[in-house]
């Protein structure tokens, strides 16, 4: 019997995925475990493999469409096999996938039903599973970006007719409703806060103004480059970051002469013993983690009404992929040694550049380190990576004359730039954190003792 291919749930936070490209056409032979479609979610590219050996019988969701997790996107089976029989066995028509109905896994007669988590369902868990799916379906009728835009402009999403897959409300539908209101002379206003709210919320950022290609080009010849999914997400998040936070940056020059010496003395030994080459970033991530441990008031997020103090120290490391940045996360970095951090960073970078990161690899960060020193940058102003409230920019290490007491000596120095959300982290706490970080990097042996 034909087997369904579903949009996988690749991480705890993933609620939808976009079909980028089908690697097989309908009727093409496929082998079990062979990649058949490329998907993206949260700037991450993944492939979905064929669940069985046979042929790709039918593609249900075409490239370019975004659908909720667990949506049926294709059927794989034997040549000439009738899909209708498989649909009947699965308990829902193929159109349910397009309508945003996350299908249950098909089960053979006499076998225990399997839920969305992959665990067998009993009477108690089945009820919880159904409640969870109903909640998921309700959220997924509207894309997250469309819902946010609608809330910002006081648009009732239930009144909109969706033009996305299966009638899903997408950003364009909300934008159209906003324009229609403007045409009628009706001013759109943000929806009022729920009555139960007692603390003031931070104002939502206004939607970015859009202009036509001709307006942007200003009469100059041009070519149009389609906006990639990664660049779209980066653009939205950077705009929201600057529009919704009070960003302030402190800089400090750090003497890393001893750090350079320590790293050089350990390079060969660590490479032989552990197979990794220590980088300055490895030591900086460890130092940042220890500084956060000493200053937990920097390891926070701000909701607009509450301060969320994180109980884990998870350091994101910005990685350049050419077409954009992605920030995989080293979890519990304060509890790991420099060598372990080095191994993890290199593994995450390799996965990022090979398109093998999972959503869990890039979520849960509480602080970010962005190092542009390898590009010859001395200092820069990093932009916050929401919902984090602090990010560290790292410049290049340069050798220059520095006064040490009364003596002018050649020393290795670099500039650190700490950007914080001033709504929740004042200048003095940020400066104290930066001072601790500086002390750790100038006495790097401390980094090897914890």
- Give the mean pLDDT per block of 10 residues along the chain (450 residues): 87 80 94 90 80 93 90 92 70 43 37 39 48 48 72 81 70 81 63 46 52 80 83 84 95 97 96 96 98 97 93 95 89 97 96 85 94 96 95 97 94 98 97 98 92
Q: Would you call 422 a catalytic residue per the annotation?
A: yes
DSSP label of 90 = H
Q: How far apart are CA 229 and CA 145, in angstroms?
A: 13
162, 68 Cβ separation under 8 angstroms: no
Q: Count structural domains, the chain.
A: 3
- Considering the domain boundaries, does residue 241 fall inside one? no
Predicted confidence at residue 101, as pLDDT, reads: 39
Q: Which residue range(s) make up the domain with 120?
A: 3-139
Same domain, 145 and 270: no
Predicted pLDDT of residue 424: 96
60: CATH: 2.40.50.100
Give the position of tokens 């058949």: 36
* Residues 129 and 150 grouped into a single domain: no
Confidence at residue 225, expressed as pLDDT on a 0 to 100 scale: 85
Choose the catalytic residue: 28, 268, 274, 426: 426
Residue 266 · residue 314 · CB < 8 Å? no
Question: Which H/E stretch holds residue 80?
Answer: none
Looking at the structure, tell me whether residues 89 and 161 fall in a common domain.
no
Residues 301, 426: one domain?
yes
Whether residues 352 and 324 fall in one domain: yes
* Residue 153 annotated among the catalytic residues of the structure: no
> DSSP string of 346-381?
HHHHHHHHTT---GGGGS--SEEEEE-GGGT-----
CATH number at residue 375: 3.30.559.10
CATH number assigned to the domain comprising residue 180 = 4.10.320.10
Q: Report pLDDT for 119.
A: 40
Q: Identify whether residues 19 and 68 lie together within a single domain.
A: yes
Question: Are the beta carbons of 355 and 46 closer than 8 angstroms?
Answer: yes
Question: Residues 316, 392: one domain?
Answer: yes
pLDDT of residue 272: 96
125 and 146 housed in the same domain: no
**How much is the pLDDT for 228?**
78
- Whether residue 364 is found in the same domain as residue 426: yes
Establish if 211 belongs to a structural domain.
no
Task: Tell me if 158 is assigned to some domain.
Answer: yes
Catalytic choice (99, 258, 360, 422) = 422
pLDDT at 291: 98
Residue 202, domain member (yes or no): no
In a domain, 198, yes or no: no
What lies within 8 Å, CB to CB, of 370 at 6+ separation is 318, 382, 391, 392, 393, 394
pLDDT on residue 98: 40
Domain-located, residue 257: yes
pLDDT for position 85: 65
Q: pTM (2 decimals)?
A: 0.65
Residue 147: its pLDDT value, please?
77
pLDDT (0 to 100) of residue 89: 62
Last residue of a domain, one of 139, 167, 184: 139
Q: Give the SS3 label for residue 370.
A: strand
């Amino acid at each position: 019997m034909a087997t369904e291919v579903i949009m996988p749930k690749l991480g705890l936070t993933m609620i939808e995925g976009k079909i980028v490209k089908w690697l097989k056409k309908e009727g093409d032979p496929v082998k079990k475990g062979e990649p058949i479609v490329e998907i993206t979610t949260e700037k991450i590219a993944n492939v979905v493999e064929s669940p069985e050996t046979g042929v790709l019988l039918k593609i249900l969701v075409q490239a370019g469409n975004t659908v909720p997790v667990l949506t049926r996107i294709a059927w794989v089976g034997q040549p000439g096999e009738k899909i209708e029989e498989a649909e009947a066995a699965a308990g829902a028509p193929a159109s349910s996938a397009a309508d945003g109905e996350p299908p249950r896994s098909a089960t053979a007669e006499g076998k225990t039903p399997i839920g969305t988590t992959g665990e067998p369902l009993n009477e108690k868990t089945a009820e919880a599973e159904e409640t969870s799916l109903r909640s998921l379906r309700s959220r997924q009728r509207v894309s997250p970006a469309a819902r946010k835009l609608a809330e910002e402009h006081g648009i009732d999403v239930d009144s909109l007719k969706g033009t996305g897959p299966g009638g899903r409300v997408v950003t364009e539908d909300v934008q159209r409703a906003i324009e229609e209101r403007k045409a009628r002379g009706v001013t759109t206003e943000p929806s009022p806060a729920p009555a139960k709210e007692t603390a003031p919320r931070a104002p939502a950022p206004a939607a970015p103004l859009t202009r036509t290609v001709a307006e942007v080009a200003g009469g100059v010849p041009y070519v149009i480059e389609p906006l990639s999914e990664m660049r779209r997400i980066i653009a939205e998040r950077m705009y929201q970051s600057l529009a919704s936070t009070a960003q302030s940056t402190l800089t400090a020059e750090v003497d890393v002469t001893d750090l350079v010496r320590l790293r050089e003395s350990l390079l060969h030994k660590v490479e032989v013993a552990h197979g990794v080459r220590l980088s300055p970033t490895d030591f900086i991530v460890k130092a940042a983690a220890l500084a956060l441990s000493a200053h937990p008031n920097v390891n926070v997020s701000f909701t607009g009404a509450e301060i969320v103090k994180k109980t884990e120290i998870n350091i994101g490391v910005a990685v350049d992929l050419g077409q954009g940045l992605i920030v995989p996360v080293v979890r519990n970095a304060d509890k790991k040694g420099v060598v372990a951090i080095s191994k993890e960073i290199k593994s995450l970078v390799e996965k990022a550049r090979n398109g093998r990161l999972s959503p869990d690899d890039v979520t849960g960060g509480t602080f970010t380190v962005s190092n542009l020193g390898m590009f010859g940058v001395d200092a820069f102003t990093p932009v916050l990576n929401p919902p984090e409230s602090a990010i560290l920019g790292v410049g290049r290490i340069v050798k220059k004359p520095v006064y040490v007491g009364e003596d002018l000596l050649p020393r290795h120095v670099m500039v650190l730039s700490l950007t914080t959300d001033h709504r929740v982290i004042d200048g003095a706490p940020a400066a104290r954190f930066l001072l601790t970080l500086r002390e750790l990097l100038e006495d790097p042996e401390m980094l090897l003792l914890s």
